Amino acid sequence: MIKIEHIGIAVKDLSAANEIYTKLMGYEQYKTEEVKSEGVTTSFFKCGESKIELLEGTTEESAITKFVEKRGEGIHHIAFAVDDIHSEMKRLEKEGFRVLNKEPKRGADNKWVVFLHPKSANGVLVELCQDVEASVIQ
Ligand code: ZN
């Protein structure tokens, strides 16, 4: 793991959350992006080497919509940047972690992402992400 790439926060209303986080951080989000395949709209705030990702569910079936309904708003996942997502997936599977994706998928902010089941990581949903440009995956 290279660094904490971002912390994902599930919110009910992205524009209201953007206002709150703009006040909190002292500056605005640098991008807002819809990820249709995941049923979410996200916005990102830089914080040094890391980011805050706000996520609002856009469909009833979205994992974020379900999370907010069940548990309310709050921290949804922690994302670690990795150099080689395939070798990290293999390494973590060997260590007994449950990798939720067979193959990396395209996430927000130009990343390949995979998730680890929270039950295998002390209740925390873990995301691994790798920059698309830095990868050799086609
Ligand atoms: Zn994320």
Report how far ligand 1's centroid is from the alpha carbon of 36 (Å).
14
Give the 3-state secondary structure of 36-50. HHHCEEEEEEEECCE
Report how far ligand 1's centroid is from the alpha carbon of 52 (Å).
9
Report how far ligand 1's centroid is from the alpha carbon of 1 (Å).
15
Residue 29: band (very low, low, confident or very high) from pLDDT cuts 50, 70, 90: very high
Contact 128, 82 (CB under 8 A): yes
Report how far ligand 1's centroid is from the alpha carbon of 8 (Å).
5
**Can you tell me which residue has the tokens 């959350």?**
17
Report how far ligand 1's centroid is from the alpha carbon of 138 (Å).
21
pLDDT digits (tens, 9 = 90+) for 49-83: 999 999 999 999 999 999 999 999 999 999 999 99
Percent of the chain past pLDDT 70, that is, above it, reads 96
Predicted TM-score (pTM) above 0.85: yes
pLDDT digits (tens, 9 = 90+) for 95-120: 999 999 999 999 888 899 999 999 99
Report how far ligand 1's centroid is from the alpha carbon of 53 (Å).
6
Report how far ligand 1's centroid is from the alpha carbon of 104 (Å).
13
pLDDT of residue 134: 67
Q: For residue 103, which amino acid is it? A: E
Cα–Cα distance for residue pair 27/25, rounded to 1 Å: 6
Residue by residue, DSSP assigns 47-89 as: ETTEEEEEEEE-STT-HHHHHHHHH-SEEEEEEEE-S-HHHHH
Report how far ligand 1's centroid is from the alpha carbon of 130 (Å).
11
Report how far ligand 1's centroid is from the alpha carbon of 33 (Å).
12
Contact 85, 101 (CB under 8 A): no
Report how far ligand 1's centroid is from the alpha carbon of 65 (Å).
15
Distances from the Cα of 43 to the Cα of 74, 92, 93, 106, 133, angstroms: 15, 29, 30, 16, 20
